[in-house]
Amino acid sequence: MDKLVDGRYRLLSRVGRGAMSVVWQARDERLNRLVALKELRQDAGLDEAAFFRSCARAVREARLAAQLRHAHAVTVYDVIESAGSAYVVMEFLPSRSLTDLVLERGPLGPGEAARLGGQIASALSAAHAAGILHRDVTPNNVLVTEDGNAKIADFGVSHAVGDATMTGSGLVVGTVAYVAPEVATGGEGGFPADVYSLGATLYTALEGTPPFGTDDNPVALLERIVHDEPTPPRHAGALTGVLTRMLHRDPAARPAMAEVEELLAVPVTSPSPRPRRRIAVVAGAAAVCVVAAGVVLGSGSSPSPVAAPVSPATTTITSEATVRTTATASVTPSSPASAVPTVVADRTGCSARYEVTSSWSGGDQVLVQVRNEGSAALAGWTVSWPAPAGVGVEHLWNGVLDRRDPVVTVRNAAWNGRIGPNTSITFGLNETTTGPRSALPVLTCAPLRQP
């Protein structure tokens, strides 16, 4: 093996494989360091046009995730498009997955599970604050380093390209046992889906099996996730209450990831080690490619010392709040697209701040901050604006989209409608653009007051 990618990264050995990707250990000859390269490849069953669309999305999402720098998240260094292939360059991390750790040592005690889970929650909390959704939190994507600390891996390139894991039992796509109920019913979920998946991951670390067990029939497993309650944990100890909240069927009833981080930081005393027993963490049977109830589940990844990123998904959970309109001050949209105009309502209403945070050929990422300017809590909100010509909304997270040309309206999702006085929440979206634009849109924010 003596291939040099982009004149810089020399491939050393293959360390992982998926249906549409190969992961290489490589040396960055410019900085003299080991890195991991995830090379995106065309699957035999995917036509060329679909492959290039998937690659474009994967590259775009990798660039977004590269903005995240956290001690407990595997770092994305670079994204390369070279000689008809796309590569994501990541931190190379000598480690083993939480799956391997549990298989080798048996289930963890509550103290160790809380410590590792708190580290992962801190990284996911930072990602959520930056508008980045993981969408595939599983024991395979929690990497435990040689010094015993945890890092979250694979922020979604595998999901973007429909990637898969090669195991002894064949081709595996998706890890059904860890998807949230709202995802299992056909939605793509939002930040609460990450909370659920982390809860299911910690449950597995403590119990040796996912909350709804495993099943050779993935549709039956999906049915249990959607309609049944998880089996109460027997070995979670002081973590039982935290897990119960994280695994709640209603996304709005789950704690935010920042709260999960705080809850897991409380010291937990582990009981005496339990005798080893056969572990049923999902490593094959229940991790499959599923098309059920109108949803194709996201991809899992093999235990590997590397990771890849993801952009936030479209949120489909709705809220039935009725919103009343308040007056807003107008802003002349004359600044360039990189500027950040803010439209502020009167002191009884809310304000909305629109910011283009990242741009690429044919698109942008936008974050919108919705702030409660009043002295009483809001129970819901909507933000609307006239869509600029040639600009479309491709993905939305943390809100519900209602586009009726020429107006785009976003209303709160089920879990983020309430905004306390002088506080704010953020939603985001990806835009498609067919040409340059000279100004950002003028926003109108309409609140609903808490009864």
Is 18 part of a structural domain of the chain?
yes
Most confident of 144-148, 165-169, 339-343: 144-148
CATH number at residue 143: 1.10.510.10
Q: DSSP letter at 256?
A: P
The answer to whether residues 80 and 178 belong to one domain is: no
Which of 74, 91, 108 is the C-terminal boundary of a domain? 91
What is the structure's pLDDT at 308? 31
Mapping DSSP to helix (H, G, I), strand (E, B) and coil, where does residue 112 land? Answer: helix
Q: How many domains does the chain have?
A: 3
The answer to whether residues 393 and 254 belong to one domain is: no
Q: Which of 19-33, 155-169, 376-390 has the lowest mean pLDDT?
A: 155-169
Which of 268, 296, 324 is the C-terminal boundary of a domain? 296
Active-site residue, selected from the candidate residues 28, 43, 78, 136: 136
CB contact set of 313 (below 8 Å; sequence gap of 6+): 133, 135, 188, 189, 190, 395, 397
Q: DSSP letter at 406?
A: T
Interior CA angle at 198 toward 149 and 257, to 5°?
A: 90
The answer to whether residues 360 and 427 belong to one domain is: yes
Question: What is the residue range of 119's domain?
Answer: 95-296
Of 368, 331, 374, which is closest to residue 350 (Cα–Cα)?
374
What is the structure's pLDDT at 110? 93
Is 317 part of a structural domain of the chain?
no
CATH number at residue 45: 3.30.200.20
Q: Is the pLDDT of residue 201 over 90?
A: yes
Is 315 part of a structural domain of the chain?
no
Helix axes 257-265, 110-129, angle to 10 degrees: 150
The answer to whether residues 153 and 270 belong to one domain is: yes
- Annotation marks residue 154 as catalytic: no
**Backbone phi and psi for residue 52, each to the nearest 5 degrees, phi listed first:** -65, -35
Is 302 part of a structural domain of the chain?
no
The answer to whether residues 104 and 140 belong to one domain is: yes
CATH number at residue 353: 2.60.40.290
Q: Which of 162-166, 191-195, 313-317 has the lowest mean pLDDT?
A: 313-317
The residue with greater pLDDT, 281 or 106, is 106
Average pLDDT, the chain: 74
CA gap 348, 290 in Å, rounded: 48
Is 372 part of a structural domain of the chain?
yes
The answer to whether residues 82 and 103 belong to one domain is: no
Which of 54, 71, 91 is the C-terminal boundary of a domain? 91
CA gap 60, 359 in Å, rounded: 9
Is 416 part of a structural domain of the chain?
yes
CB contact set of 357 (below 8 Å; sequence gap of 6+): 67, 131, 365, 366, 367
Do the beta carbons of residue 410 and residue 372 sit within 8 Å? no
pLDDT class for 15, splitting at 50, 70, 90? confident
Q: Is the pLDDT of residue 49 over 90?
A: no
Q: Which residue has the tokens 């799956």?
A: 99
The answer to whether residues 140 and 275 belong to one domain is: yes
The answer to whether residues 352 and 375 belong to one domain is: yes
What is the structure's pLDDT at 439? 73
Average pLDDT on 250-255 reads 93
Is 176 part of a structural domain of the chain?
yes
pLDDT class for 396, splitting at 50, 70, 90? confident
Identify the H or E element spanning 88.
strand 85-91
The answer to whether residues 252 and 118 belong to one domain is: yes
The residue with greater pLDDT, 55 or 124, is 124
Q: Is the pLDDT of residue 144 over 50?
A: yes
The answer to whether residues 75 and 103 belong to one domain is: no
Is 349 part of a structural domain of the chain?
yes
pLDDT class for 12, splitting at 50, 70, 90? very high
The answer to whether residues 346 and 429 belong to one domain is: yes
Q: Which of 298-312, 315-329, 344-358, 399-413 has the lowest mean pLDDT?
A: 315-329
The answer to whether residues 247 and 110 belong to one domain is: yes
